[in-house]
Structure 1
């Protein structure tokens, strides 16, 4: 478990330095049959592109608040780390009217229109496909992100003691507190380097965020993130556990 990282972005950099080829996020959507596996290097590339979009095209500043109206999804995971990398405050399920920017999936578009700042829409379609028609008043993430740079450097170093995560229950955490909580959650879940954690929890509270991304990242493990897992029968779920070499669960 990494003991020197002070921000969530440091955790990702440490994972990249240790073993860029190992799986980090494996995503299933059991409503569509989608399966995506992202190595540390591939995930870090998506984070870099998203962070460049945030910093350059969307002009997000450290301390700005980004409302994330998104389910537990591999693209949501990339947005979380991109926010942490730029110093903006990630607010999963946050109020768009109180946010500087909003990022929404198809189900949250109407609520997202309450944001007066930039609005980004994610189609959440298999293979990261774009919307057939971009929602009015939004940028389509799948259109905007491919041209962004594969490396990211913030204009100013991210302060580990600045706000980083605003939870739906009103708790706000600094980057350093996110890291400390992630390490604590990894210990509570029994995660060690190489652990494979199956998570079907939403990204709407600390437990879902920890099990679905932050605790495996802190522990040097990986997450198998499942959306619509309730569509699987017990036998199919057991086959997935075996195929994905699951060692821990947070369902």
Structure 2
């Protein structure tokens, strides 16, 4: 096993090599009716663009801490893997005032302003739309990311034994530990290549991030991310499971 196999970005590279055209992340917003499906190739393209934005435009370096103030969303998943690609520590729901960078959704802008470093805002509108009026003091992700390169190469190789994830309980995981834990979770859930996991869990800790991205990725499967699943009645949920060929659930 080489160093790349022990990083979160390495999991995405492996998926890209195995079957780039298969779905990886399918996102539902059951409040608006939005559905977005990203293949491995499309997801990787978003990750590359975001990693280039981090490294080249925001001057992020390995070991920097990024407070991620976003809900469970396909763009949040992109940011987790982009940070891993650069070597930036993703601090889930972290304190912006103690971070080098912050990424915020529209509901956490006030808290995000305490970050002394670079601030990025996401509107979380359908199709990755931009803010009607950019928030003052923030880079609008939807404005800046399209022009970034489609291929990412880090200036320095990512160290699998360096911190990669900071969790709300105060613990930290290196890239290698996160990969191993994701693989263990995949095995515990019975995930295998082709599995489709429907997750309604928030991205506010390891359990939600694992079920909603990392464990399916480690298993060669995919995730149907539906954080507002409670809006569906039983018949609609059954139809969703059938339509999306769901094999496993986490709620």
- Structure 2 distance, partners of 1:105, 1:31, is 16
Q: TM-score, normalised by structure 1?
A: 0.98
Per-residue CA deviation, residues 168-212 of structure 1 (Å, 9 max, x unaligned), is: 111100000000000011011110000000001000111100000
- Structure 2 distance, partners of 1:234, 1:68, is 33
Q: TM-score, normalised by structure 2?
A: 0.98
- Structure 1 distance, partners of 2:200, 2:55, is 31
Counting only pairs closer than 5 Å after superposition, residues 52-201 of structure 1 correspond to structure 2 as: 52-201=52-201
**Where does residue 37 of structure 1 map in the other structure?**
37
Which secondary structure does the structure 1 equivalent of 2:103 belong to? strand
Which secondary structure does the structure 2 equivalent of 1:81 belong to? helix
**Structure 1 spans left out of the alignment, 5+ residues:** none
**Where does residue 229 of structure 1 map in the other structure?**
229
What is the CA distance between 1:230 and its match in structure 2? Answer: 1.1
After the TM superposition, list the runs of 4 or more consecutive aligned residues in structure 1 that deviate by more than 4 angstroms: none
Which secondary structure does the structure 1 equivalent of 2:124 belong to? coil
More deviation in 145-154 or 221-230? 221-230
Per-residue CA deviation, residues 96-131 of structure 1 (Å, 9 max, x unaligned), is: 001000000011100000101000000000000000
Please tell me the root mean square deviation across aligned C-alpha atoms, in Å. 0.7
How many aligned residue pairs are there?
Answer: 248
What is the CA distance between 1:227 and its match in structure 2? Answer: 2.5
**Where does residue 240 of structure 1 map in the other structure?**
240
